[in-house]
A and B are shown apart, each in its own frame.
Chain A
């Protein structure tokens, strides 16, 4: 059972988390339609690292960005996001 290290809770079983989407697929409602649809409907889907938005849904419910390798599943970085994480 894969573990993800939540920035608030520490290492927890992957079943406590849900994957949302990649950071580059986030649709900014303020952007023009063409850019928005490009972001929504295309992915790099690499056999390597990508930045992904996840949520600790069944734990503290906070959101985070993981830099994760799609083949080895190694997590290279974890960054909390959300209002509490604003500078």
Chain B
């Protein structure tokens, strides 16, 4: 470029910077147009060889002109200058060069190019892996293009669902017409256009009979939705499409805080009016600044009033390019030569010399600008002084969405292009995508090594030839070996050129050489947009227990459990977690405590066949329970392993309450529903998941019975008994069950009334010297008692016998898991059995491995570690090979990752009150 190429009109009101220099743009300019207008021809450096690059296209297919735009956490690397509309204060910088664009040290790689052919890294860098990592360090720093921002993204991204009868993609002449017709016919229409203005090819080749802006207004007036700066990114099953809408340009501060919007659209039918992308021509140094696609040149001239060159050579194999010659002449440029590779063509504009059988073979210049074009005309070479060459190798229909929809392609020999054919979905392609201009195959002229095919990844014709030579001959092998088509432009300007070369090597027609799969996204999509609001919370909602607010007032230590939060402890001012938990546990052992157990799985099973259903789901008997009685139970998977445990209570003749663990509650709900609906729909029963219907409060301790009696006005039920009652004026279920090892009661209340019940119990408990206790204290209590917990001892690989529950199995069988339990390995000796451990040293590391001697393979592991609450001393529960028969043995618990060790003795897992005297009547 030799200076600004657009006469200022007074509209150049938009200041922006590129690599620190301030320029001015007109409204509607892309960065590319504005840079060209200001005479900036060098815009980037290529990936591997760091060759100087300029602007090649005027659209989303741009492989070279990539910039980083914006500042701080909203900076977007790898943004195409041709797909970026200038806004005031825009800050753009070039990428992949150091120290500057014009003087890039890494350009020295270009000298090594003969050695750095495709796949060179597979042939060298041998030695130990550490060696490779040293080379790899250099490669990783040289690779990649822009830099990711390191500050948090200050903007939000929104998601919206859309429904329409007709979705039209593309607002060129065909798309506008289709959208308007559909709107006039009364359909709900959505028209999407990735450009900032409607019109498509009309922006470059206006038609006086079509006014895109007016048509858009008409469509809107009929209730249609027209979205600009919106790309149809993915076409999924059943006419579901994802659209990405820019609410602000990359790097700009979005007006309402949302940078982009992701649409999930279900359309009745889809009309694809996605048009054509022009195909480049391979010749030596065809990646040089000053080499542009013909229609791009026409766009810069007509849409933006920019003259990208004053002395222009045109090279083509089709008629469309002659329009570019005319546009250039009209704009005052000199068309030095029009090279038509064919034997004849249409009439050229006045004053333009056409050469037939003419192909470009090389260009040269300085890094910013083109100087000379050399062509092969009828076999002999001729050179031209030029600062721009506009090329066209034909046109490629944009068929990505059609292919994603499952469509087929047909080959046009005349256009040397794949045309969208039939599709299995309610979708049709219209417009120029169906009628690319005739453009015969032309053999490239010029050195293969310097004739670039994939510009961004520096892949040349010679690389394709080398891949062929080395046996990477299928199109997939070719792509992966050379990396062509894998850059940010996704092969939009390289795929067909590569395929033609491959077909030629294979000696077959292009369609026979094969095509790779088209997958979403059509153009790259911002990750934050796909994350949406989920980026702030990992897409995880919060499940709050009914008494969450009440607990919050105590400022507890919270325990996350899946999506729930439960109080872990209620520490006093100077207490840490361990101190608070020990105090709370001691209080339960000596006085009383209350705890929130609302998250337990709970199911009401009613009807004449209720017991039958429960005896399928539970591995113990249930049917023998008298009314008002309950029992501990556990559940097996079909393969025989225990997956959950709980209690079951007979509330009335044909009414049962099943409780299960918090962690397994969702799974339990699913299993019960499966049994009820799919396995035994004939059972006369109903199952209601009441997990969140009831809040649960556990009241435990030697004073618990007296406290509860005072609150409900009668004697509470005896151990494993059930009774309804009224507490603080609220109806409650009282279940006499002990998890802690003290006499205890679970009080279940309809959730909306839980607060007053808690307060009443708490007041009465505190009056006795008791206090609330959390999960940590609950752990201390249940470990000392030897109760198993899902996720700990119940690890999904343990049988009932392993856990010491074998005697409770329903001897009649017929429960889910009974068959699985008969498998030989589940009854083998030396399985991991539940045991207790008493420390002979200090604390026992939870999760630590049980070994006999140092250096041995583990024979088990510690599932839960604690201390004796009143007596002191470290204890643990563990799973140990053959553990049932190894009580008394001395072992070592070792945790190499934490540097902890303890000698232990194997015991029964029931340390505290094994006979249950604390609560049995």
Contact = CB atoms under 8 A, between A and B. Distances in A.
Interface of A: 1-3, 11, 13-14, 18, 20, 26-33, 36-37, 40, 53, 55, 57, 61-63, 73, 81-83, 85-86
Contact of A29 (B670, B676, B678, B818): B818
Contact of B236 (A1, A82, A83): A1
- Chain B CB within 10 Å, residue with most, of A30, A33, A40, A81: A33
Nearest to B236: A1
Nearest to A11: B238
Interface string B627-666: 0000000000011000000000000000000000000000
Contacts of A53: 678
Nearest to A63: B677
B186 interface: no
A82 B819 contact: no
A87 B868 CA distance: 59
A67 to B, nearest CB: 16
Nearest to B234: A1
B773 interface: no
Given A3-B238, A83-B681, A85-B681, A27 B819 contact: yes
26 contacts: A1-B237, A2-B236, A2-B238, A2-B240, A11-B238, A18-B670, A26-B678, A29-B679, A29-B819, A32-B819, A33-B819, A33-B820, A33-B823, A37-B819, A37-B823, A40-B638, A40-B639, A40-B819, A55-B673, A55-B674, A57-B670, A63-B674, A73-B237, A82-B677, A83-B677, A86-B682
A28 B678 CA distance: 11
A53 B670 CA distance: 13
A86 B819 contact: no
Contacts of A27: 638, 816, 819
A56 to B, nearest CB: 11
A40 B820 contact: yes
B820 A1 contact: no
Interface in B798-830: 814-816, 818-820, 822-823
A20 B678 contact: yes
B616 interface: yes
Contacts of B683: 83
B462 to A, nearest CB: 40
A59 to B, nearest CB: 14
B6 interface: no
Interface residues of B, number: 27
Closest A-B pairs by Cβ, 3 of them: A36-B819, A82-B677, A1-B240
A68 to B, nearest CB: 12
Given A20-B678, A36-B819, A37-B819, A29 B236 contact: no
B679 A26 contact: yes
A33 B237 CA distance: 41
B887 interface: no
A36 B821 CA distance: 11
B621 to A, nearest CB: 15
Contacts of A81: 677-678, 681
A33 B824 CA distance: 12
A14 B236 CA distance: 12
A38 to B, nearest CB: 10
A86 B639 contact: no
B264 interface: yes
Given A1-B237, A2-B238, A3-B237, A29 B681 contact: no
Given A1-B238, A40-B638, A53-B678, A29 B815 contact: yes
Given A61-B673, A73-B237, 10 more contacts: A1-B264, A26-B679, A27-B819, A29-B679, A29-B815, A29-B819, A33-B822, A36-B819, A40-B819, A63-B674
Contacts of B818: 29, 33
Contact of A30 (B240, B676, B814, B822): B814
Contacts of A55: 673-674, 677
- Chain A CB within 10 Å, residue with most, of B616, B676, B678: B678
A63 B678 contact: yes
B382 to A, nearest CB: 56
Contacts of B823: 33, 37
B38 to A, nearest CB: 45
A55 B682 CA distance: 18
- Chain A CB within 10 Å, residue with most, of B674, B683, B816: B674
A29 B679 CA distance: 9
Interface in B213-251: 236-238, 240
Given A33-B822, A73-B237, A82 B638 contact: no
B820 A29 contact: no
A62 B681 CA distance: 12
Contacts of A3: 237-238, 240
Contacts of B673: 55, 61, 63
Contacts of A20: 674, 678
Nearest to A1: B240
- Chain A CB within 10 Å, residue with most, of B674, B677, B683, B823: B677
Contacts of A31: 819
Contacts of B639: 40
Nearest to A55: B673
A31 B814 CA distance: 9
Nearest to A28: B679
A18 B678 CA distance: 14
Given A27-B638, A30-B814, A36-B819, A82 B237 contact: no
A31 B238 CA distance: 41
A63 B680 CA distance: 12
B679 A37 contact: no
B816 A29 contact: yes
Given A20-B674, A55-B673, A81-B678, A36 B820 contact: yes
A32 B678 CA distance: 19
Contacts of A26: 678-679
B678 A82 contact: yes
Nearest to B684: A83
A79 to B, nearest CB: 12
B27 to A, nearest CB: 38
Nearest to B675: A29
A25 B682 CA distance: 19
Nearest to A53: B678
A1 B238 CA distance: 7
